[in-house]
Amino acid sequence: MGGAINNPSRPIDGVVHTPLRRIVDERGMVMHHLNHLSPTFKGFEESYISKTYPGKLKAWKLHRKMTQNFCVPVGRMHFVLFDARDDSPTKGEINEFVLDDADQYALLCIPPGIWYGFECLGIETALIVNVSNVYYDPTEALKLDPFDASIPYSGWTNEKP
Amino acid sequence: MGGAINNPSRPIDGVVHTPLRRIVDERGMVMHHLNHLSPTFKGFEESYISKTYPGKLKAWKLHRKMTQNFCVPVGRMHFVLFDARDDSPTKGEINEFVLDDADQYALLCIPPGIWYGFECLGIETALIVNVSNVYYDPTEALKLDPFDASIPYSGWTNEKP
């Protein structure tokens, strides 16, 4: 489905996957996320956290205005993105990413206009921390069922249609 | 030590403890943190995550410029704050807070000039998410040993002097 996970053969235009640093000591660690000089930072209007239980899936969602900057500091999450933008050079592409709190600790920037969904992998509740440039506004978000026929993806592992 | 945990008899001037919402469903939850209209929001320069293992303590630290906006979306953390500001109406006060991912899910705003430390309670690694108005700058932070005699606190539960 569009190349290797975390290394798509055709990266969706505007989607950026960047490994992040973790500074570890005997008490725990500090995990980088985002700062005002980060290339994908588009302004701050809200920071929030999203927990997903093992075996659960949240899909599909699209934001018309919001740029998301996700990291997964606990657990492991599988992200699927679909580019449905008419004016995009990568229209129709699917990209997949797996982010976790260890070797795959990374920032995933999702620009507006991309359908995305995610599912928790493994037995630990997974956490997304997001910094967004648009304060929560239900009118700028669209939703579809995880198995809606308009998105050409059938690889979810936590649910079958 | 200065009144009840999460309800100090003399709240340190500028410290704000605000319960936060969690929106729960069968797949997980969305947990509020901070937005650009929040009363304690002082601007965005960095978002980061700090993990502390069970039994571990991180103290003391003071930021000269940075306002911190902490929440604890995983686990449970005990925070101790000491006001050493010469010009503060609450100079010399100790305040204590316990934040967690359940009934005590809350925002803790710590203004500049406050000594603070925290320890992980329980058996789950605890997580702090912070949005700060100052990008990491080691020259604006001061440190002291957890049992330094200049801070009148001896209640840490994870370590004894």
What is the nearest CA distance from A40 to chain B, expressed in angstroms?
A: 13
Length of chain A: 161
Judged by DSSP in three states, B140 sits in helix
Q: Is residue A111 scored above 90 in pLDDT? A: yes
Pairing of strands A76-83, A94-100: antiparallel
Q: Is residue A160 scored above 90 in pLDDT? A: no
Show the tokens assigned to A64.
């018309």
Judged by DSSP in three states, A158 sits in coil
Name all contacts of A133-138 with Cβ < 8 Å and 24+ positions apart: A133/A42, A133/A43, A133/A44, A133/A45, A133/A66, A133/A67, A134/A45, A134/A46, A134/A63, A134/A65, A134/A66, A134/A67, A135/A45, A135/A46, A135/B35, A135/B36, A135/B37, A136/A46, A136/A48, A136/B35, A137/A65
| Chain segment A53-94, per-residue pLDDT in tens | 999 999 999 999 999 999 999 999 999 999 999 999 999 999
Cβ A34 vs Cβ A42: under 8 Å: no
pTM of the model: 0.96
The residue with tokens 């789950």 is B124
- Residue % of chain A over a pLDDT of 90: 94
What is the nearest CA distance from B44 to chain A, expressed in angstroms?
A: 6
Pairing of strands A57-63, A114-121: antiparallel
Q: Is A31 on the interface with B (CB under 8 A)?
A: yes
DSSP strand E in chain A: where? Answer: 3-4, 7-8, 16-19, 22-25, 28-35, 46-52, 57-63, 68-74, 76-83, 94-100, 106-110, 114-121, 126-132, 141-143
Question: What is the amino acid identity at position A114?
Answer: I
| Chain segment B65-99, per-residue pLDDT in tens | 999 999 999 999 999 999 999 999 999 999 999 99
Q: Cβ separation of B31 and A49 shorter than 8 Å?
A: yes
What is the chain B residue with the closest CA to A38? B46
Cα–Cα distance between B65 and A116 in angstroms, integer?
Answer: 38
Of B31, B36, B74, which has the smallest distance from its Cβ to A44's Cβ?
Answer: B36
pLDDT at position A2 is 56
| Chain segment A3-29, per-residue pLDDT in tens | 689 999 999 999 999 999 999 999 999
CA angle B75/B77/B78 to nearest 5° reads: 155
Q: Is residue B2 scored above 60 in pLDDT? A: no
Laid out side by side, the sheet with B28-35 consists of A16-19, A106-110, A68-74, A126-132, A46-52, B28-35, B22-25
What is the chain A residue with the closest CA to B56? A27
